[in-house]
Structure 1
């Protein structure tokens, strides 16, 4: 019985997280990824991102993980860039004032969800 309750709770949480997704935009940056604002020269892998002021929260975003899904192109000139997948990234850096996106993904993370030729995409993201 406990197994069914746990499964039910997990299902509700999964669907609740997709209902509360926030819309934004994503761009990408290329290596080297160190140093970063959050971790200096500590290597945090390649599924990482820089947070804009929208989620930076005075460094509180450092280490937060976000599930990011491409939802479309930001301009008419690029065909559908989305690959239909999501990626989970860890915030390791700050995308400074003038940042052109909500989340600046590593090149590898961006490529996992969209065609890099798009440069900038529409996204939905949730903290996980």
Structure 2
């Protein structure tokens, strides 16, 4: 019986360590969404074959070297500290980079990710408009 308890404790500690390492490898940012059926696609000349696409901030986009890159995006809370969490799940969604996001005429900075409406709705309530996220390749 004690051996089983020790094995269970060791397994629990190992899972905690793996979770901590995964969080340490993730980056943090913000996400909003677009209702467009497909992105403007500065990366390709045709519409993406999946509704799970994203535009990314100019900082991530660079010279377009990340076109086609898949990111795992997880909602972790509201953008403002006093905002209730818009997160629907802690399960990540995988999206493909198809475009960049440059600030609009109002000069409001772009979020890190501009997810397709379908991708955003899987991880957060669209009524919130934005969410704090973690992401990794």
Q: TM-score range by the shorter chain?
A: 0.7 to 0.9
Task: Tell me if structure 2 keeps the 8 A contact 1:71–1:124.
Answer: yes
- 1:88 aligned to 2:94? yes
**Which contiguous aligned blocks of 4+ residues in structure 1 show a shift greater than 4 angstroms?**
none
In 1: Cα distance, 2:127 partner to 2:119 partner: 14
Cα deviation for residue 17 of structure 1 reads: 3.8
Show structure 2 runs of 5+ residues with no match: 1-14
Cα deviation for residue 44 of structure 1 reads: 2.6
The count of residues paired between Structure 1 and Structure 2 equals 115
Which secondary structure state, in structure 2, belongs to the residue aligned with residue 108 of structure 1? Answer: helix
| TM superposition score normalised by structure 1 | 0.79
- 1:126 aligned to 2:131? no
| TM superposition score normalised by structure 2 | 0.74
Higher Cα Rg, which structure: 2
- 1:115 aligned to 2:115? no
Q: Which residue of 1 aligns with 2:5?
A: none
CA deviations over 1:106-125 (Å, ceiling 9, x no partner): 00000010000010110000
Task: Tell me if structure 2 keeps the 8 A contact 1:50–1:103.
Answer: yes
RMSD, aligned α-carbons: 2.0
In 1: Cα distance, 2:94 partner to 2:23 partner: 14
